[in-house]
Chains A and B, each alone.
Chain A
Amino acid sequence: MRWLLCAWLAGLALPAQALDHDNLDPNRPIGMEDAYAIPKGEIGLEGGVRFNDRRQGRTNVTFQPQIIYGAFANTQIEIQGDLFTDPHSLVGANKSGDLHLGLLYNFNTETLTLPAMAVRVEADLPTGVNSKGVDTQVTGILTRSFGRLRVHLNGGYTVLGSPQGQERSGTYRAVAAVSYPLGYPGSFRDTLIASLYTRQSDLQGQRNHTGVEIGLRHQLTSRVVLDGGLGTEFLGPAERAALLGTIGVSLGF
């Protein structure tokens, strides 16, 4: 079995290494992240399925393949391409099949007086269904720990390159989240994450989407992390989410 794995890894030219389930990335499993990049040189393959059961309209399912690479010190680059089951009904920046490029730069590690700080810049190239213009996003991220509890703040702004119809030309997003390692001191395999978020609606004249999410990341093996999450939006437009759910897996090489 080990030789099969080795052969597969050799074929990819990406021999295996450990993954850190406590390093939080967007959508794995909920829409928040911490201020830390993956280690320099690490490669992560991530994938997930997310469903959005809306209060009005059809349930949407999203497939979220992603590659993350610790390209430089304290810097990770990301390539992602979400695929939706109902691509023609989408509004906003993230269209089905768009090529998403991202870069996260971590300025510092947390110390006794300073939180960890990072900035993320992203671009969605219009390769997807009904997509026009290059959409861009910038996000500031803070992580501060209190004992084992870590608090994360994300604040971002997205600019649509070519808004269509009633789409806003820009939208903001704010997330407050906490993460906590479960099982201490006997086990270190699970991290619980919860968030409260609000984001401007994609269409003008509608209320913010405001909701909560909760998720779990579980270190299955040295190389594999599983994740799952649930959420709901309690304020927002009529088609806001009644139930959000995500399951995913991350492989570190």
Chain B
Amino acid sequence: MRPAWTILRSIAIVATATVAVALAACSQFEPRDKRFYYRALWNFSLREDLAELDSEFNGVDFGHSNLYENLLLTGGQDVSAIEDRTRQETLAFIATKPRLNPNEEAIAPTYMKLAWRAQNTFDEAHALHRATYDIAVSDEPDKDRAIQNVLAYYKESAYAITSKQLDHRRLDAFPYSKAFRQRFPLFNATIWSYHYLQVAVYDPLLAARDLAAKTHAVRPILATYRRYLDQPPVEWTFMPLTAELSPQFAARYPEVAHIFDNLHMLHDNISDILASERLPTWEAKRAEIYRVVNTYYLATADATNPMIVRKDGEHHH
């Protein structure tokens, strides 16, 4: 009996101490809630069969996190730090053609501590992006079913972005909106170039019949993307939309397309929040990021979300 009592007592002491410390700072107490990807035989098809495209997406992962970390650490005011140094770091990483996706917590350790809930929301949506590329590249015979399966898995997550069409114009009209693109037009156009690449490849990948054709089909898009990295399309006034660049994919999988557009809009919102002096403290930025995510983006808010478009009609950039 003695060992059992000692064990219980030890567990109770450790648990009580841990919970006490946690409750003392419960305003920032949040679960990690990492979830594994949807498991299937087509996992990593893009990485294994079309590494030329996969490595670009690995570079995109670096770009988002590196931007957020540097916006946070510089207060969003230092134009040279973002447009020159941070952007060049990102371009240098992309140029290495990384074969694996980077560890984003090592890139943005401060941002991850500030807004983990938002990051987990990104991670889940990025996993959906990756899964749909893998399916498109793979020899999976029933791609419709595979995409519906990963969509269903995605929607099970508490961090799933709504699959409804959101009013992106209204989501781009907060008091701090456009702060990022106005102060950092080069990096903003670079971000939109990432989003161009991410959505423009769907139609060519799904239309091509075999791997050789898929590889050939994405080359012009990669060439355009690389040209955008060299000369960012600062003349764009709005982010690229899936329905404009991959209309067949958007028509066939409208929920997935909406999720990706909403994801990209959320990226813009968070860039604006981190860049805006209207939210001068880290605590204020964190509170606004969480308010926007919880109120306007997560599927759990669908019943009350005022940004959901109730009839068809999307804006164009």
- Tell me, in angstroms, the Cα distance from A140 to B47 when the chains sit together: 38
- 1/0 per residue, CB under 8 A from A, across B40-52: the answer is 1101100110000
- Tell me, in angstroms, the Cα distance from A157 to B21 when the chains sit together: 20
Which of B7, B30, B62 lies at the interface centre, i.e. has the most chain A CB atoms within 10 A of its CB? B7
Q: Please tell me if B17 contacts chain A, counting CB pairs below 8 Å.
A: yes
Q: Please tell me if B314 contacts chain A, counting CB pairs below 8 Å.
A: no
CB-defined contacts of A188 to chain B, threshold 8 Å: 98, 100, 102-103, 106-107
Q: Please tell me if A165 contacts chain B, counting CB pairs below 8 Å.
A: no
- 1/0 per residue, CB under 8 A from B, across A192-233: the answer is 000000000000000000000000000101110000000000
- Tell me, in angstroms, the Cα distance from A10 to B42 when the chains sit together: 11
- Tell me, in angstroms, the Cα distance from A145 to B114 when the chains sit together: 13
Q: Please tell me if A151 contacts chain B, counting CB pairs below 8 Å.
A: no
Closest chain B residue to A7 by CB distance? B41
Contact A159-B7, Cβ < 8 Å, known A70-B36, A188-B100:
yes
- 1/0 per residue, CB under 8 A from A, across B250-271: the answer is 0000000000000000000000
Binds A, one of B89-97, B173-181, B218-226: B89-97
B17-47 residues with Cβ-Cβ distance < 8 A to A are 17-19, 21-22, 25, 28-37, 39-41, 43-44, 47
B93-137 residues with Cβ-Cβ distance < 8 A to A are 93, 96, 98, 100-103, 105-107, 109-110, 112-114, 116
Q: Please tell me if A110 contacts chain B, counting CB pairs below 8 Å.
A: yes
Closest chain A residue to B283 by CB distance? A112
Closest chain B residue to A182 by CB distance? B106
Contact A107-B89, Cβ < 8 Å, known A145-B109, A188-B102:
no
Q: Please tell me if B141 contacts chain A, counting CB pairs below 8 Å.
A: no
Query: Which residues of B does A touch, CB under 8 Å?
Result: 3, 6-7, 10-11, 14-15, 17-19, 21-22, 25, 28-37, 39-41, 43-44, 47-48, 62, 66, 89, 92-93, 96, 98, 100-103, 105-107, 109-110, 112-114, 116, 282, 286
Query: Which residues of A does B touch, CB under 8 Å?
Result: 2, 6, 9-10, 14-18, 20-22, 36-42, 70, 73-74, 106-114, 116-117, 119, 121, 133, 136, 138-140, 145, 147-148, 157, 159-161, 169-170, 181, 184-189, 219, 221-223, 253
List 21 A-B residue pairs with CB atoms under 8 Å apart, sorted by A's residue number.
A6-B41, A15-B39, A22-B103, A22-B106, A37-B32, A40-B36, A41-B39, A70-B36, A108-B22, A108-B29, A108-B32, A109-B33, A111-B114, A145-B109, A147-B110, A184-B106, A185-B66, A186-B93, A186-B96, A188-B98, A223-B44
